């Protein structure tokens, strides 16, 4: 069983808050970015690696590759799994990745989305993904930083 400490939805993926604050809080030594586009984009990967301390490893995999190899993680890898969307989390769960808790940190507002929390905007496809994750028994919390009180996403939907 892989040591997945936390899965976070953050459409910015890896940035200072994720790479320092959350990593330190969790005690993670590896960030796995599961995103189809970033897995193929070395420029984005390089930019994300720049914000990480040297002691923290980072891997960039597609959603499918993550599902295929996460069970091969070493016992001493303490994984912080970062994705862009609730649909990505749902695909991982459906692919057999053992995710029981998801932190929703940042989902930017865009056309067609409704802001439900200061840092979270959703559309109908996001809501549907959240409902399906709940059916899979995944706990969903909104929390930007570790010292903030988590809120249950369902009270906002």
pLDDT in tens, 4-26: 999 999 999 999 888 889 999 99
Asked if residue 31 belongs to a domain, the reply is yes
HSE, CB side, 13 Å, CA atoms: give it for residue 82: 26
Number of domain units in the chain:
1
- Indicate if 71 belongs to the active site: no
Does residue 108 form part of some domain?
A: yes
What would the mean pLDDT of 110-135 be, rounded to a whole number? 96
What are the contacts of 131-137 at 24+ separation with CB within 8 A?
132/90, 133/86, 133/89, 133/90, 133/93, 133/102, 136/93, 137/100
Q: Is residue 154 part of a domain?
A: no
The answer to whether residue 142 is domain-embedded is yes
The enclosing domain of 101 has a CATH number of: 3.40.35.10
Residue-wise pLDDT for 31-52, tens only, equals 999 999 999 999 999 999 999 9
**What separation in angstroms does the CA of 114 have from each of 1, 10, 63, 66, 104?**
37, 17, 26, 30, 15
In a domain, 143, yes or no: yes
- When pLDDT is cut at 50, 70 and 90, the band that residue 156 belongs to is confident
Flag whether the pTM goes above 0.85: yes
Q: What percent of the chain has pLDDT over 90?
A: 90
With respect to residue 155, please indicate whether it lies within any of the assigned structural domains. no
Residues of the domain holding 60? 3-149
User: What pLDDT is recorded for position 155?
Assistant: 83
* Rounded Cα gap, residues 104 and 84, in angstroms: 10
- Tell whether 103 is covered by a domain: yes
Q: Is residue 157 part of a domain?
A: no
């Amino acid at each position: 069983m892989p040591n997945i400490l936390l899965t976070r939805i953050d459409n910015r993926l890896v940035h200072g808050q994720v790479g320092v604050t959350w990593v330190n809080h969790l005690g993670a030594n590896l960030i796995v970015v599961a995103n189809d586009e970033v897995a193929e984009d070395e420029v984005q990967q390089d930019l994300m690696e720049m914000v990480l301390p040297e002691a923290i490893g980072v891997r960039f995999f597609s959603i499918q590759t993550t599902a295929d190899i996460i069970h091969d993680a070493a016992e001493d890898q303490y994984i912080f799994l970062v994705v862009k969307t609730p649909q990505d989390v749902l695909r991982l769960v459906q692919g057999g990745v053992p995710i029981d808790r998801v932190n929703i940190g940042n989902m930017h507002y865009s056309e067609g989305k409704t802001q439900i929390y200061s840092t979270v905007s959703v559309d109908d496809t996001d809501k549907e993904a959240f409902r399906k994750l709940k059916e899979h028994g995944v706990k969903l919390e909104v929390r930007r930083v570790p010292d903030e009180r988590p809120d249950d996403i369902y009270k906002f939907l």
